[in-house]
Amino acid sequence: MDSEENRSPLADLRGATWDPRQEVEYDILTDLIRDAIGALTAMAHREREAADPRDDVIARIDERKTRLVRSLRDLRVFDADGAEADRLRAECLELIRGSEG
């Protein structure tokens, strides 16, 4: 093996430049997004199991879930502050609260 093969994949990463508050905000937001995705999955399942499932409702739920999955995938620590993060938090909390009842 040459030295390039032995090199850690993390060798090129720079030190973290975010503060602990940003990391906590990021962790909370990723948890909220995951919980909202779970709530949407449950909603879609309930609609599919209904006596007369509505394909348009299922499609809207699936589109929303896909958008949240993309948001989760693309989210970075630095994104956890600001208007978009606030919008995501509000949307996720609304979905989670709505799925409880």
Contacts of 98 (CB under 8 A, 6+ apart): 39
Structure-model confidence comparison of residues 18 and 57, the more confident one: 57
| Residues contacting residue 18 through CB under 8 Å, at least 6 positions apart | 26, 77, 78
Q: Quick: pLDDT tens for 12-53.
A: 556 667 788 888 999 999 999 999 999 999 999 999 999 999
Q: Which of 68, 6, 25 is nearest to 43 (CA)?
A: 68
pTM of this structure: 0.80
> So what's the pLDDT on residue 4?
60
Q: CA–CA distance from 1 to each of 4, 7, 8, 9, 11 (Å)?
A: 8, 10, 13, 15, 17
SS (H, E, C) 38-87: HHHHHHHHHHHHCCCCCHHHHHHHHHHHHHHHHHHHHCCHHHHCCHHHHH
